[in-house]
Structure 1
Amino acid sequence: MDERQPVVAHLRQMASDGRTASDVVKWLTGDAGQGKGMFWILSCLFLAFENGLFSLRQIERWKGFGDGGILTDSEVDEIVGPLVIRTKPIREESSGTWY
């Protein structure tokens, strides 16, 4: 089992509970992602949500990482927008189309 599966399930539950993008990132960088890198964080978000990759990548600029980022929690929430739970596969096996 991919170690991200329980994390992705929790992220989707957080979104269902009305949590914001900054709430999700705080949880990912704290409890779930201790010692994990940016690629791991973004891949979990991409697997969990249908939000565009461009908006998710803006999370890298969040000041909560402590590496000189400039975006506040509210700016991250505005850029990412409401978290849309992924309901379709990332890749359609029959057609080979990526979502």
Structure 2
Amino acid sequence: MKDPKLIALGVRERAMRGDDAVDIALWVKAELGSETTFFAFASCFFHGLGVPVHAIRELEGWNGVGGNRDVPDSDVRRSLDPYVMPLRQQ
């Protein structure tokens, strides 16, 4: 597993270049690897975009991250877009 703080830099870069929130989340999941914890996943968004824990917590179980809940991609966008979209303007 790569260092979540290093991945956080990539999260910010991807948000700034206009990547979709779901694509960013999929990239984070791939970078962390299949054995990652939800805490590591969440910390990438906390350090990269300042996403508070309560916002990212809604995604626990999405696409197998930290569990297997049925979390649609639209929920990923709803949780992350408020932090991704403002960076697109920079």
TM norm. shorter chain > 0.5: yes
| Number of the residue aligned with 1:22 | 22
| Larger-gyration structure (1/2) | 1
Sequence identity (%)? 22
**Could you say if the C-alpha distance between residues 75 and 3 of structure 1 is closer, same or farther in structure 2, counting changes exceeding 3 Å?**
closer
Greater relative contact order (Cα 8 A, min sep 6): structure 1 or 2? 2
Cα distance in structure 2, aligned partners of 1:54 and 1:26 = 20
Q: CA deviation at 1:4?
A: 2.9
* Normalised TM-score (structure 1): 0.67
Whose helix proportion is higher, 1 or 2?
A: 2
Cα distance in structure 2, aligned partners of 1:69 and 1:37 = 15
| Number of the residue aligned with 1:10 | 10
Q: CA deviation at 1:84?
A: 4.6
Letter paired with 1:17: R
Cα distance in structure 2, aligned partners of 1:53 and 1:6 = 19
Cα distance in structure 2, aligned partners of 1:3 and 1:76 = 22
Letter paired with 1:14: R
* Normalised TM-score (structure 2): 0.73
Q: CA deviation at 1:22?
A: 1.8
RMSD: 2.4
